[in-house]
Structure 1
Amino acid sequence: MPETPGTSNGTDSGTAGARAVSGAGIQLENLTKIYPGSPGPAVDNVNMEIKAGELVIFVGPSGCGKSTTLKMINRLIEPTSGRIRIGDEDVTDIDPVKLRRKVGYAIQQSGLFPHMTVAQNIALVPKMIGWPKAKIGSRVEEMLDLVGLDPGEFHGRYPRQLSGGQQQRVGVARALAADPPVLLMDEPFGAVDPITRDHLQDELIRLQHELRKTICFVTHDFDEAIKLGDRIAILRERSHIAQFDTPEAILTNPTDDFVSGFVGAGAALKRLNLTRVRDVGVVDFPTAGMDDPLESIVALLRSGPTNEVLLLDPNRRPYKWLRRGDLSRAKGTLARAGTLVHDTVTRDATLRDALEAVLTDSAGRVAVTGRRGEYIGVVDMETLMNNVHELLEADRLEAAAQEPEPDEQDRPDQQDRPGGSGADGAQGGTA
C-alpha cells in the first residue's frame, strides 16, 4: 500500500516536521451502512479526509455509528455504498482479508489469543504475509522494546500472565508488527483503570511521535480525545459530522450547542491536556542510588540545594523521597527511612496529569521518567502553575479580542452629541 506524504497538526508540532511520515492518507467518500430491517442507515453518507501521519479521534454519543465507521475502513463491516481510499488505492473492492493484513487493528481488552505466547501473538500477521522467520523474530523483539516491555522477560509469557496494561501494550505491538501505514483503535484503553489508562495514553503519544502512522481512534471520553488527537471528529447520530477540527479550535470555538455539550464546563482547564510535560521546565534533582553508602547520601542531603534527595533503584527508577528529617530514623540503613514514590509522569504526560500527581503529594513535585521508567528529572508546582496562568491569560485575551466593537449607536458619548446617533441626529440616519 503506497505511502502518502502529508503533515499533521500533531501533538508535538515542534519536532513533527523533522520525522518521516510512515502513514497513508485516508479518504471516506459518501460512506454509508444500512443494516437489513433497520428503518434508516447506521452511518449516513460520511465524507472525511484524514491526512497521512495524523491521529484522528472519533467521538460521539453511544450508538452514533463511530465504531461502525471505523470498522468500515478495514471492512470488518462492509459498506453498503461509498468509497474508501488509503493512500492512492481504492480499497473498497479488494480482498478484505488482504486489506486487514495491511491495516493495524487494536481493540478494547487487547484481543490477544490466550493459547499463544506474547511473541506468537505479535508474530501473527508477519507470519501470515510470509515474512522470513529471522525477520519475524527480530520484529517481535523490536516491537516489545518499542512498547516498553523487556523482550527477555515477556517473550514467552501468555496473556493470562500479563496485567491489563501489559496486554494492551502487546495488542498495540501486534497491530504494528507488519508495519502498516494505518492503525485503527476501537476504545483500546476503555477497560483498564484510570492510572494505567493515563500511562497507555502517554505511551501512544510517544509511539506516534516516533512512528508517525495514520491512526483512527474511537473513544467516548472527550478528555481522552483532547489529549490524544491531532484532530477530533465529533459525530452526531448516523456519524454526521458536527465538527472536525483541532482540539484547540473545538475548545475555543465549538460550532453549536451539540459540540459545546461535549466540551462542557472548564474549557480553559481542559487545555491542560494540550501541553506536554516535555514542553515545560523539567529540572534536575539530587539523586542517589539505594545501594550508595549511607555516608555519601547524608553528605548529599546536608550539602545539596534542597532538603531531600530522590533514591533510585538499580534500574535508575524513582524509589523513595528521602528528607533530612528522615535521617534520624535511618539508624545505619535506609530500609525504613523516606517515602515511597507513588506517582511519576512521563515526558509525554499532559500538564493535567502532572498537576494531578503534584497535588496528591504535599511536597509539590513529581518525578519524570523515560520509556522504561528511568529517572529523567522533576517538574514542580511553581512551573505547572506558571503554565496554567499563561493558558488562562491567553484565553482571557483571546475572548476579549473576539468581543465585537460596540455600534456607534451604543456608545454613550454619541447619544447627546450634535450630529450623533440620537433621534434628531443626521449622522447615522438613513440616506
Structure 2
Amino acid sequence: MPETDNHGASIELENLTKRYPGSPQPAVDDVNMEIKAGEVVVFVGPSGCGKSTTLKMINRLIEPTGGRIRIDGEDVTDIDPVKLRRNVGYAIQSAGLFPHMTVAQNIGLVPRMIGWSKSRISARVEELLDLVGLDPGEFHGRYPRQLSGGQQQRVGVARALAADPPVLLMDEPFGAVDPITRDHLQDELIRLQHELHKTIVFVTHDFDEAIKIGDRIAVLRERSHIAQFDTPEAILTNPADDFVSGFVGAGAALKRLNLTRVRDVEITEYPTVTVDDPLQEIFNRLRSSGTNEILLLDKRGRPYKWLRRGDLMRARGSLARAGTLVNDTVTRDATLRDALEAVLTDNAGRVVVTGRRGEYTGVVDMETLMNSVHELLEADRLEALEAQHDLEGSRTDRTHAEQEGDGGETTA
C-alpha cells in the first residue's frame, strides 16, 4: 500500500460481494461505495444485514467472493492479506486485547511485527497512551484484567493506531461498555479524529451513535444494500424512504442535538477553589462570588465536589465529608444531547465541562441547552412550513397547467 504521510486514505468498494457455500442468497450483494480520505463513515443497519461482513472485507479478514477494494487507488484485493492488515487499524468490541501481554506489549504488537526498533516502539507507546488519555507511567505495565472496560477500549484504539495506519476499521467498538463510558469514548474518538484525520469506517446498530460520530452514514438493508448514504443532517431531515425513517425514529429535532457539540454553545466560567486552599479562603471566595455554590477542584485541577454555604458551615475545619461529589462531566466534544442528559440527572441544572485530562474548563447550564433545543425546534418548524409552501406552490402550478391544457375550461 502507498505511504499516506499519517493521513487518511480513500476507500472504494466496487461490486463487493460475499457468498457462503450452501446459502441461497449472498451475505453481501454487489456493494458500491466511495469513502473520502479522512472521512468517518458509519455503517448502520439491522442485525444480520451484512454491515460487519462488509467492514471485514475491507481488510480481508473475510475474503470477498467478488468485486474490488481500492485503498488510495491501489487494488488490495490481490495483495498479501497479512501485509494489508498491518496497514489497516482494526478495533473491535471488548477491545480484544491479549490477556498475557501488558498494555505496552499490546500496543506495540504490530510495530514489533513490522520491524520497528525498540526505542521507536517505546516512544510510540508513550505517545499513544497520552493520545487516548491514559497516563503512560501508570498504565504502561498493567495487564488487561487490571483495566476497566473503558480503559481497555482506549488501549484497543491505541493498538489499532500503533503503526500509524491511514485506515481504521471499528466494529461496534463501544458496544460492551456502560452508557456513560460509551459517551466519553465517543467523545474521545471525535477528539482523536480532529488531531489525526484518519479514514474511519465504523459499524454500529445504534443510530444515535452514528449521528454523533459520522461525517456520513450508510443505512444498510439486508445483504448490505444501501438504503441511503448521506450526511447525518440530510438523513434526519430527508430520510429516503420508510425503512430509513424507521431508523431515524420519532423526535428527529431532538436527535439533531447529537449534531451540535458543547464547544458550539456558551461555556460559562464558575467560581472554583482547590482542595489545598484554606477553609476560610474558600468561604470568602464563595461569599464574594455572588453564587450559592462553588466548585472544588482536586490537586490535578479536576472537578471534585460542589460546595454550598451550608456545607462550609458544617465542615468544621475539614472538607472530607462536605459537599456533593461531581458524578458526571462532559467534554467539549460531547453532544448537546449528552450534556442535556447529564444536566437532567443532576437537579441543580448544570454540568461541568472538562478537558482531555479531566481538568475543569467551565460549566454548561440548563438555560443554554434549552435555548439550543428551542432554536432547533424553530428551525425544523420553519423548514416544515417552507416544504409545505413549496408543495402547495407545485400543486397550484400543476392545476394552472392542467387548466391551460383544457383551454381554460373548468368543471364543477
Q: Same fold (TM over 0.5)?
A: yes
Deviations 1:173-226 (A, max 9, x none): 000000000000000011111111111111111111111100000001111111
Q: 1:21 to 1:401 in 2, by over 3 A?
A: farther
Pair 1:101-2:97 in alignment: no
Residue 354 of structure 1, aligned match among 329, 334, 339: 339
Does structure 2 conserve the Cα–Cα contact (< 8 Å) formed by 1:34 and 1:80? yes
Q: 2:73 aligns with which of 88, 106, 114?
A: 88
- Which residue of 9, 27, 33 maps to 2:12? 27
Q: Do 2:6 and 2:164's aligned partners in 1 also have CA atoms closer than 8 Å?
A: no
CA contact (8 A) 1:24 1:181 kept: yes
> CA 1:93–1:333 in structure 2 vs 1: closer, same or farther (change >3 Å)?
same
Structure 1 position 164 matched with structure 2 position 164: no
Determine if contact 1:3/1:22 at 8 Å carries over to the other structure.
no
Three-state SS of the structure 1 residue aligned to 2:97 is coil
Cα displacement string for residues 253-299 of structure 1 (whole angstroms, at most 9, x for unaligned residues):
00000000000000110000001101111111100001200111010
Aligned position for 1:16: none
1:381 paired residue number: 366
What residue is the counterpart of 2:131 in the other structure? 146
Number of the residue aligned with 1:406: 392
In 2, the alpha carbon distance for the partners of 1:303 and 1:49 equals 59
- How many angstroms apart in 2 are the aligned matches of 1:25 and 1:264? 31
Cα 1:46/1:311, change in 2 over 3 Å: same
Q: Offset at 1:137?
A: 0.4
Q: Is the 8 A contact 1:185 1:218 kept in 2?
A: yes
Contact in 2 for aligned 1:21/1:53 (Cα 8 Å):
no
Judge conservation of contact 1:30–1:81 (CA < 8 Å) in 2: yes
Change (3 A) 1:383 1:85: same
Query: Which aligned segments of 4 or more residues in structure 1 are displaced greater than 2 angstroms?
Result: 1-4, 404-411, 425-430
Does 1:390 pair with 2:375?
yes
Q: Residue 295 of structure 2 aligns to a residue in which SS? A: strand
Taking the TM superposition and a 5 Å limit, the aligned residue runs for 1:101-250 are 101-250=86-235
Distance 1:357 1:341 in 2: 11
Q: Contact 1:277–1:354 (CA<8 Å) still a contact in 2?
A: yes
CA contact (8 A) 1:3 1:24 kept: no
Structure 2 unaligned blocks of 5 or more:
none
Residue in 2 that maps onto 1:38: 23
Structure 2 distance, partners of 1:361, 1:282, is: 17
Matched, 1:2 2:5: no
1:70 to 55, 68, 76: 55
Q: Which amino acid aligns with 1:54?
A: E
TM-score (norm 1): 0.91
1:78–1:409 CA distance, 2 compared to 1 (3 A)? closer
289, 310, 327: which is aligned to 1:304?
A: 289
Q: Which residue pairs with 1:15 in the alignment?
A: none
| Matched position secondary structure for 2:321 | coil
Partner of 1:61: 46
Task: Tell me, yes or no, if structure 1 residue 322 matches structure 2 residue 270.
Answer: no
Distance of aligned partners of 1:385 and 1:81 in 2 relative to their CA distance in 1, 3 Å threshold: same
- Give yes or no for contact 2:93–2:171 (8 Å, CA) kept in 1: yes
1:187/1:218 contact within 8 Å kept:
yes
User: Given the superposition, is the C-alpha separation of residues 21 and 351 from structure 1 closer, same or farther in structure 2, using an over 3 Å criterion?
Assistant: farther
1:366 to 351, 354, 369: 351
CA contact (8 A) 2:6 2:166 kept: no
Q: Which secondary structure state, in structure 2, belongs to the residue aligned with residue 24 of structure 1?
A: coil
Instruction: Tell me the residue number matched to 1:9.
Output: none
TM-superposed deviation, 1:121? 0.3
Q: Is the 8 A contact 1:106 1:188 kept in 2?
A: yes
Matched residues in 1 for 2:367 and 2:3: separation?
A: 44
Aligned residues: 408
Letter paired with 1:109: S
Answer whether contact 1:368 1:378 (CA < 8 A) is retained: yes
Q: Is the 8 A contact 1:329 1:336 kept in 2?
A: no
Question: Is the Cα–Cα contact under 8 Å of residues 235 and 242 in structure 1 kept in the other structure?
Answer: yes
Superposed displacement of residue 335, structure 1:
1.7
Q: Is the 8 A contact 2:132 2:188 kept in 1?
A: yes
TM-score normalised according to structure 2 size:
0.95
Distance 1:26 1:410 in 2: 46
Which runs of 5 or more residues in structure 1 are unaligned? 5-19
The answer to whether the 8 A contact 2:15-2:68 is kept is: yes
Separation in 2, partners of 1:409, 1:192: 51
Give the equivalent residue in structure 1 for 2:242.
257
Q: Indicate how the Cα distance of structure 1 residues 207 and 426 shifts in structure 2: closer, same or farther if over 3 A, else same.
A: same
1:409, distance to aligned residue in structure 2 (A): 8.4
- The AA in structure 1 aligned to 2:301 is R
Q: 1:288 aligns with which of 246, 257, 273?
A: 273
Aligned residue for 2:255? 270
Q: 1:335 aligns with which of 296, 299, 320?
A: 320
Q: 1:408: Cα distance to partner?
A: 9.4
